[in-house]
Structures are given as C-alpha cells and as structure tokens.
Amino acid sequence: MELQPRLFGKLLRTRPLTSEDFEVLYAAANDPLIWEQHPDPLRYQRDIFQRYFDSGIACKGCLVIEEINTSEVVGSSRFYDFSQDKMEITVGFTFLKRSCWGGKFNRELKHLMLNHAFKFVDTVLFDVGSENRRSRKALEKIGAILVRQDEKSDRLGKKIVAMTYSLRKKDFHGLL
C-alpha cells in the first residue's frame, strides 16, 4: 500500500510530506483554535509543532493537504499502522486550517483517503482524542463506530483518553 499517495479531488490534493514543508505547514497550523480540542492543545506553538512535524516525517505516511484553486497548504493527515495481516490501517493526526472547516473540505479529504485505503484494506481505524468533539461527530456521521478507548499519558504525563473508531469497507458508501 502506498502510504503517501498523491490524491486529487475537486477542492483538495495531497502529496507526501517532506522536510522542506515545515514553514508552510507551520503557517497553516499556528492557530490555537485548530488545536483547542486536540490532546495537545499547545501544538500551535513552534517547538511543540516541530515534534508533531518530525513524527510525521518519521512515520513515512504523512500527507500535506493543498487547496487546488490556490495551491495553499491547508493541513495534513497521516496513514499509519498498516497491517497486511489484519487488512487494516489507521488514519489520524489530521488538521485543516479554519478557512477549510465546515464540512466540504474534510468530507472530500476523508473521501480521497478512504477510497485509496479501501483498495488495500478492509478496515480503516481513526484515532481521535476524547475531547475532539468536532472530529468524533464527523466520524460518526460517515458511519464509523467507536471500538476502543485507551488512557494514555501526554508529553507532560497528563492522562488523556484516546478513542479509536472503525469503518469497514463494506459499510463505506462514499461521502460526496
């Protein structure tokens, strides 16, 4: 499975994240409101975002999201934890600039990523922080079901609840 595909929609396109993308991706991410419901709400700060960015490079499945009309970088997402044996992959670490909030951009991004993933796997998992109500609602809207809750420690040792949602290929009927 190609973990960093170039995907093309009507509004968005994706491409592999490279080390040269830090400044443009940070410019898209340095808004505190983007991260207010995420497990690490300080990710808009440069040093904390640097760790997020470095983990994206290391995972070798991180995508830069660009708006087609402007070629502006508007966010990122990741494919990770691919299991050929289980026929599943996880999608997560997604963010979009607030100018792309409101449904149509996120819907198209999920459509592009799910269509790609379901060529290779039967199940896509989504990791979401328990406080991220926007993302949880969007996942439930497309038919993903909550399958697991894990208590973890964040970078400061604070306990957070990570929620895992599942969407099976046979239950996916497209989003557009």
In a domain, 159, yes or no: no
Q: For 2-45, give the DSSP string.
A: -SS---B-SSEEEEE--GGGHHHHHHHH--HHHHTTSS-TTTTS
In a domain, 134, yes or no: no
Sheet of strand 73-83: strand arrangement: 12-16, 62-67, 73-83, 88-96, 123-129, 159-168, 145-153
Range of the domain at 36: 12-125
Q: What confidence tens digit (pLDDT) does each residue in 70-92 have?
A: 999 999 999 999 999 999 999 99
In a domain, 40, yes or no: yes
User: How far apart (Å, rounded) are the C-alpha atoms in residues 85 and 167?
Assistant: 17
CATH of the domain at 44: 3.40.630.30
Instruction: Calculate mean pLDDT across residues 40-49.
Output: 94
Q: What confidence tens digit (pLDDT) does each residue in 151-168 have?
A: 887 767 778 888 999 999
Number of structural domains found in the chain: 1
> Tell me, what DSSP letter sits at residue 61?
-
User: What does pTM read for this prediction?
Assistant: 0.92
User: How far apart (Å, rounded) are the C-alpha atoms in residues 91 and 127?
Assistant: 7
In a domain, 118, yes or no: yes
In a domain, 163, yes or no: no
In a domain, 60, yes or no: yes
What lies within 8 Å, CB to CB, of 104 at 6+ separation is: 11
Q: What confidence tens digit (pLDDT) does each residue in 119-131 have?
A: 999 999 999 988 8
In a domain, 1, yes or no: no
In a domain, 140, yes or no: no
Which tokens go with 47? Answer: 């040093």
Rg (CA), the chain: 15
Q: For 85-129, give the DSSP string.
A: TTTEEEEEEEEE-GGG-SSHHHHHHHHHHHHHHTTT-SEEEEEEE
